[in-house]
A and B are shown apart, each in its own frame.
Chain A
Amino acid sequence: MATLESPPPGTSSSAMRNAFGTVLSALILLLIGVLAFSIRLFSVIKYESVIHEFDPYFNYRVTQFLSKNGIYEFWNWFDDRTWYPLGRVIGGTVYPGLTLTAGTIWWALNAINIPLSVETVCIHCVWAAAEAYSAPSIVLTSQSRDGLHVFDDFRESYAWLSHNTDVDDKVASWWDYGYQTTAMANRTVIVDNNTWNNTHIATVGTAMSSPEKAAWEIFNSLDVKYVLVVFGGLIGYPSDDINKFLWMVRIGGGVFPHIKEADYLRDGNYRIDSEATPTMLNCLMYKLSYYRFVETDGKGYDRVRRTEIGKKNFKLTHFEEVFTSHHWMVRIYKLKPQKNRIRGRAKKLKLKTSSGLDSKAAKKNPWI
């Protein structure tokens, strides 16, 4: 058998080659790692060093809790600020890999006095989860002739909620915004992106599809103080709640049979213009989205649905507007408190455009 004689260790040229080879391969591997890492940071660099998706906000919030309270509190954590009034057992239902990795990295860095915040660590770990989802960004940009225009309405509204409402106020919205509301606005929500309870989601969907009084009753029974809707009609943002409305009707109708999808459809389509059905024009989602929208341009032209809205001038009886963001993308309403005295005679509702609900207007309305 021929044995390869390894050159005596004293030989300088081959030993040098060996050494070179090892260092070079180590360096190449390191550079590949850095490059792979950097490529994935493009969205962070382009927009901002912030978490952009919906679901990663859950991971970020959970990691924050872990870093603040430690591993035992984390395993035993029952979160009462979501799925109100049911809550969620986070310790038992979470996939902890991402959270524990981020938490460990943060703890290790802080132990050697490198003060990176939990948020920074998460962006580098949460990227992996974010890549798998679709791309609703939290900061939207558009190019105009004066340069880049930034739409930061979501964060504007979450910041407003976190500073100008009480800590224990409950916010109701469609489930898409649940994680972001709990993480950024720090308020208790009714349903969130976990979507583990279909009946609870159907309750919110029914409330959004009902007329004002019925919706008020549902939200009041859940101790809700604020209702949040996303509206893209002023600037043409297509992923708003009116476009998602069909799911609110279907999911709501699946659990509560008095919500019938046919009531909202005209020739098989969901319409919000003059051809819309009376039920549609009277439901909470329509009213909260288009309240005083006609005053922006005089005609109420919805840039997403590309039509003028059906009911233009109406007043809200059970809700009042407390905040609308800069580009009208997020609108927040407060539930009006109940009146102490119910008046003897019902006053006729003044509606500028016919809603087809004259029979309901004549009925006794205790809120006027």
Chain B
Amino acid sequence: MAARNWIFAVAVFLSLSTFSSAQDLQIVNAERRIDLSSHIVKAFLTLKVENIGKDPAADMLLAFPPTQIKNLAMVQALAVTGKKKKKIYLPLDVKPSEQPDAPNDAGYFLVSFATPLGPGEAVTLEVLYILTHSLEPFPVEITQSESQLVYYRDSAVVLSPYRIKQQTTFFKTPSTRVESFTSVEPANRAGKEIKYGAYEDRAPYSYAPVIVHFENNSPFAVVEELVREIEISHWGSLQITENYRLTHGGARHKGVFSRVEYQSRRSISGSSSFNALLAVLPPRVNSVYYRDNIGNISTSHLRTGFKKSELEFEPRYPLFGGWKATFIIGYRVPLEDYLFEAPDGRRYLNFTFGCPLVETIVNKLTLKVVLPEGSKDPSAVLPFAVNQDLQVKYSYLDIVGRTVVVLQKDNVVPTHNVPFQVYYTFKPIYMLAEPLMLVSAFFFVFVTSLAYVHIDLNIVKK
């Protein structure tokens, strides 16, 4: 309560300061639906924003509490026009933003409108944001026969720099087992849904912390590190090698692991453990292998299709909380599906970023694109921010080495699986380098043997 009053006081103070948008915009209606079914928390926020100022507004701010900012994997915004069945969604530009005097270290994202919002006008926005590592297991350790319960902390009212006239928040849990949830009137629960609202006329930066304690046995598959190497070979194929370090990110396993209980009473034993994983691979994939550092792992099943291929695979043992596994998945795809020529003569690779595993968080993703020997001026184009670097790799028959474009990103979720491009220039004459090398090697061997056979090395003539 004291915190809320303090935030309110700060907000009043700030409304007199130089926030350009704070006085001009207000949110008429906010509806937030937070999906807690898997360990990747997805929040869908529908905002009806009205310009109550005298000047047109070009953008607006979305605020997040500091605990959520570091776990935000992605923020997307769409402007909605049209009604009912004829709705048109227009993607908007969303950028992280630093604002001075942010209360309590709140973080911000700036959403730019397609056209500036005139005075008196209103626009409806759909915002999607994804949080990772936001479900905290409690109890922290569980035995094999226990179910996994987690905490989710959020606010019953939407944190915003603007006044919100009316708002409702819905939380969707995966099962009907909810241990407890903070009550902020009016709040009630029906089946798998908890409704907080409707709340009328809240001041900017209102915040009402709530904790929901519920059962979540979905697989908490967290890849601690993924190194993905895409090797371009101009002889016709793309070779992709992925090194995974997988762990179970949920409540830690304590005590005994009993195989007989796991096999006979599967429904209650190890309910939060997971065994099977699914990787979505490109359609025309071949030579798929699944192994780890001690050899091939035979528990896998590949289904190829026209639009995508699916690899269902199992680690060597089921993963319980805190257990780790490492493995390598490799495959080959034809080059013509992914390498193209740009209008300015450069070549570019068009491939999908991210991790092929479904519903998994990748803490640290490193994507290396190995360009053929003799490539110059590499550059990468992505729809979001990544760390870029260049390395050199020496492989078969290399003399100067191959340029490697290294892209690194933290906190990657399946929504990041979007196409990206890597541009480079390549003179076709360099294709002859490798055959010439092999031809000259054989030529040298034959010439040497010829010379050896025909040169007379005797000191005395016979």
Contacts and interface: CB of A to CB of B under 8 A. Distances in A.
B294 A158 contact: yes
Contact of A48 (B257, B296, B453): B296
Contact of A113 (B263, B294, B398): B398
Contacts, number: 76
B259 A324 contact: yes
A322 B256 contact: yes
B323 A325 contact: no
B37 to A, nearest CB: 28
A152 B316 contact: yes
Nearest to A148: B298
Given A48-B295, A163-B324, A163-B326, A328 B256 contact: no
Interface of A: 22, 48-50, 113-115, 138-139, 150, 152, 155-156, 158-160, 163-164, 184, 292-293, 295-296, 320-326, 328
Contacts of B396: 113-115
B447 interface: no
17 contacts: A22-B453, A48-B295, A49-B296, A152-B297, A156-B317, A158-B294, A163-B323, A164-B322, A164-B324, A184-B294, A295-B264, A321-B257, A322-B257, A324-B257, A325-B259, A325-B317, A328-B259
B258 A292 contact: yes
A320 B396 CA distance: 50
B145 to A, nearest CB: 14
A270 to B, nearest CB: 25
A82 to B, nearest CB: 18
B24 to A, nearest CB: 56
A160 B256 contact: no
Choose among B316, B325, B395, B397 the residue with the greatest number of A CB atoms under 10 Å from its CB: B316
Contact of A323 (B257, B295, B324): B257
Nearest to B396: A114
A158 B292 CA distance: 12
Contacts of A138: 295
A158 B294 CA distance: 9
Contact of B325 (A48, A158, A159, A295): A159
Given A113-B395, A113-B397, A114-B396, A155 B295 contact: yes
B260 interface: yes
B384 interface: no
A158 B326 CA distance: 12
Interface of B: 255-261, 263-264, 292, 294-299, 316-317, 322-326, 394-398, 453
A155 B256 contact: no
Nearest to B294: A184
Nearest to A152: B298
Contact of A292 (B260, B292, B394): B260
Majority DSSP secondary structure for residues of B touching A: loop
Nearest to B259: A324
Contacts of A164: 322-324
Nearest to A331: B259
Contacts of B297: 152
Contacts of B398: 113
B221 to A, nearest CB: 15
B316 A160 contact: yes
A116 to B, nearest CB: 10
Given A50-B294, A115-B396, A326-B317, 19 more contacts: A48-B296, A49-B296, A50-B296, A113-B394, A114-B396, A150-B298, A152-B298, A155-B294, A159-B292, A159-B317, A163-B324, A292-B258, A292-B260, A295-B261, A296-B263, A296-B264, A321-B259, A322-B256, A325-B259
Nearest to A184: B294
3 interchain residue pairs of minimum CB distance: A324-B259, A50-B295, A156-B316
B246 to A, nearest CB: 10
Given A159-B294, A163-B324, A115 B257 contact: no
Nearest to A159: B316
A322 B325 CA distance: 16
A320 B257 CA distance: 9
Contacts of A292: 258, 260
Contacts of B453: 22
Nearest to B326: A163
A152 B326 CA distance: 16
B294 A115 contact: no
B258 A115 contact: no
B400 to A, nearest CB: 11
A273 to B, nearest CB: 20
Contacts of B323: 160, 163-164
B268 to A, nearest CB: 15
Contacts of B264: 295-296
A160 B296 contact: no
Contacts of B294: 50, 155, 158-159, 184
Interface hub of B259, B294, B299, B396 (most chain A Cβ within 10 A): B294
Contacts of A150: 298
Contacts of A139: 295
A322 B261 CA distance: 13
Given A150-B298, A152-B316, A296 B397 contact: no
A328 B65 CA distance: 50
Among B259, B261, B322, residue most surrounded by chain A Cβ atoms (within 10 Å): B259
Contacts of A295: 260-261, 264
Contacts of A50: 294-296
A56 B317 CA distance: 25
A132 to B, nearest CB: 22
A138 B296 CA distance: 12
